[in-house]
Amino acid sequence: MSVRCERFDRQITIFGAEGQARIRAAKVVLVGYGGLGTFVLPQLCLLGVKSLAVIEYETFSATNRNRYFGFLHSDYDAEKGVGIDKVFVAERIVKGIDPEISIKLIRNRLESPEAFEAVIGADVVVGCLDCDGARAILNELCVAYGVTYIDLASEVFDDGTFGGRIAVVKDGSGCLQCMGDGLDQTEIRRYLTDEQQLENEAKVYGVDKRILSVGSGPSVVDLNGIIASLGVQEFKLLLTSPGLQSRYLNYRGHLKTISKVEVRPAGDCYCCGLYRKEDSADVWRYLTK
């Protein structure tokens, strides 16, 4: 089948048949199918991505109902308190848009051999995670194996401000640890901490250990949609018009602004120093988490 087919006619006039062919040929891995991921996946399919993998181990829950695009009311049984596996909805969405798209479902954590192998084999990874712990691992994995990684994050703060950012990690020149605001090192440490250590820390602070857990912050549908679309736009530009693509974008919803953050050379960033050095990086140590 020719790439030049009716399905993509309206966008081929924007970025050309060559750009469409690059989108079609790209192997894309989506990490996290939640508030952001459910907006990203259908857009990737509509753009013409033909080879996808989705990494997600959770099931749909009652608190996801306010923002998960494409999930049905019947996907969660309130009486039984049981929800559908999120990856099954990912498959339903993809096949509903185009049955010819190949989708590999990885119903497992990022810290699993099959997830690591999918990431390493990808042309582009899109991260739709909700905590900096998982981001740090994915960042290191992508840098060590030279995989281009587009990371999306939405943010809602206690003072009523909100927004998010899109970061593109590639070429060993800037990663999530050294670009923009970097990553939250406390959150990373807590993510890598085991249950017993977390319990001990909660005792020290005199708080419930759930407060120290990560990934259950405020989240709302419109903000996720904006950040997801900005991320997909960068994906599209990366493959079709690289000169227009940005490395780091900040969205400030309360100010109604999107700004491009200049990325300086990585300098002494430890993680950037691992670029394409799989052996020294030893990312497989995370599988024992």
Does residue number 178 form part of the binding site for Zn ion (CB under 5 A)?
yes
- The reply to whether 141 sits near Zn ion by the rule CB under 5 A is no
Token pair 């969205």 in the structure block, residue = 251
CA distances from 260 to 165, 230, 247, 248, 274 (A): 10, 12, 8, 6, 26
By beta carbon distance, the residue nearest Zn ion is 269
Number of residues that bind Zn ion (CB under 5 A): 7
- Look up residue 168 and give its two tokens: 């593109």
CB of 169 to Zn ion, least distance (A): 8
Least Å distance, CB 125 to Zn ion, is 16
* C-alpha to C-alpha distance for 210 and 195, rounded to whole angstroms: 11
Least distance in angstroms from the C-beta of 138 to Zn ion: 13
- Minimum distance from CB of 177 to Zn ion (Å)? 5
For residues 20 and 44, the answer to whether their CB atoms sit within 8 Å is: no
144 is a contact residue toward Zn ion (CB under 5 A): no
Residue 183 as a binder of Zn ion (CB under 5 A): the answer is no
Interface with Zn ion, residue 26, by CB under 5 A: no
Token duo for residue 40: 């990203």
Counting contacts by CB under 5 A, is residue 131 touching Zn ion? no
Rule CB under 5 A: choose which of 177, 219, 246, 250 binds Zn ion: 177
Measured between alpha carbons, how far is 63 from 280 in angstroms, rounded to an integer? 41
Q: Would you give the binding string for Zn ion spanning residues 242-281, x where CB under 5 A is met?
A: ------------------------x--x-xx---------
Question: Minimum CB separation from Zn ion for residue 135, in Å?
Answer: 12
Nearer to Zn ion, 96 or 182 (CB): 182
Residues binding Zn ion (CB under 5 A): 175, 177-178, 266, 269, 271-272
